[in-house]
């Protein structure tokens, strides 16, 4: 194959080594890092702008998602308020964290979730990989917020003009057609292969093939997360909502996809 190159009640995380193996030993250490001792504590100290709800005061995943989309609208309009960025709020988080949502996104420097959702410190638990590539090690990071810290919302965020997805599409298409690609300095062979399911799923879709592949990758990742051992029961019980969106570099807006 040609490969393109480019420039509360806390739940124990179960890992592949078994509940009494390394995974069980790691959970106390992760809990100390994630911390639920004392929780947020200083929520009342956060300087909130009028008409912008405190995410930590919202009760449902649907309300949190709506509030995040409202924050995205502020960002797109060039009117972010940057909540939860004052020193008093930062200090209140020193003893523990309670992120209201987890976000799995691309590493692209133009798509920082805390910025594009207009949120602050301690609001989101973010995991990022090139092209939202999802594998077992990454899945444990993505699932930590919902499974260990009880975040009720998990967002899979793709974005327009993703370089990793574009590279994978060009490489996989060239392999099918038996053509050669120009060699560059930075290789992404494993990323290309990991994105093959999205490439196959997007075949036959109308419109730009890279856009279709970006959307397919988000949808496939949502399904994988819903079936993940750390999350499947939470989804089935209605304790976790998993949603997807695609961010436009041109407008700054996130479009929900399903």
**Residues 160-182: what's their mean pLDDT?**
89
Give kind and range of the element (H or E) at residue 90: helix 87-92
Residue 67's nearest CA partner among 153, 188, 142, 182 is 153
Higher per-residue confidence, 53 vs 18: 53
The tens digit of pLDDT for each residue in 82-102 reads 999 899 999 999 999 999 999
Domain 22-257 has CATH 1.10.10.10: no
> Residue ranges per domain, the chain?
22-257
pLDDT of 192-221, one tens digit each?
999 999 999 999 899 999 999 999 999 999
Q: Is residue 243 a contact partner of residue 156, using CB atoms and an 8 Å limit?
A: yes
Is the CB of residue 56 less than 8 Å from the CB of residue 83?
no
pLDDT of 125 reads 97
Residue-wise pLDDT tens digits, 116-165 = 999 999 999 999 999 999 988 899 999 999 999 999 999 999 999 999 99
Query: At how many degrees (to 10) do helices 209-226 and 163-177 cross?
Result: 110
User: pLDDT of 219-244, one tens digit each?
Assistant: 999 999 999 999 999 999 999 999 99
């Amino acid at each position: 194959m040609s490969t393109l190159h480019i420039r509360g009640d806390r739940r124990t995380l179960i890992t592949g080594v078994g509940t009494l193996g390394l995974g069980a030993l790691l959970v106390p250490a992760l809990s100390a890092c994630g911390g639920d001792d004392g929780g947020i504590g200083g929520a009342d100290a956060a300087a909130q702008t009028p008409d912008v709800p405190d995410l930590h005061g919202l009760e449902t995943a649907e309300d949190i998602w709506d509030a995040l989309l409202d924050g995205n609208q502020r960002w797109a309009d060039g009117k972010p308020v940057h909540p939860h960025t004052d020193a008093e709020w930062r200090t209140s988080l020193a003893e523990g964290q309670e992120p209201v949502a987890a976000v799995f996104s691309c590493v692209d420097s133009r798509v920082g979730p805390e910025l594009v959702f207009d949120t602050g410190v301690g609001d989101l638990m973010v995991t990022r990989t090139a092209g939202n590539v999802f594998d077992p090690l990454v899945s444990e990071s993505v699932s930590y917020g919902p499974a260990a810290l009880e975040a009720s919302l998990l967002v899979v965020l793709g974005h327009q003009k993703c370089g990793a997805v574009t590279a994978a599409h060009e490489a996989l298409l060239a392999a099918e057609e038996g053509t050669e690609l120009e060699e560059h300095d930075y290789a992404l062979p494993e990323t290309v292969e990991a994105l093959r399911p999205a490439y196959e799923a997007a075949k036959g879709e109308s419109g730009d093939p890279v856009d279709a592949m970006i959307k397919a990758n988000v949808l496939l990742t949502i399904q994988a997360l819903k079936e993940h051992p750390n999350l499947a029961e939470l989804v089935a019980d209605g304790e976790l909502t998993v949603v997807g969106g695609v961010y436009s570099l041109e407008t700054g807006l996130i479009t929900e996809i399903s």
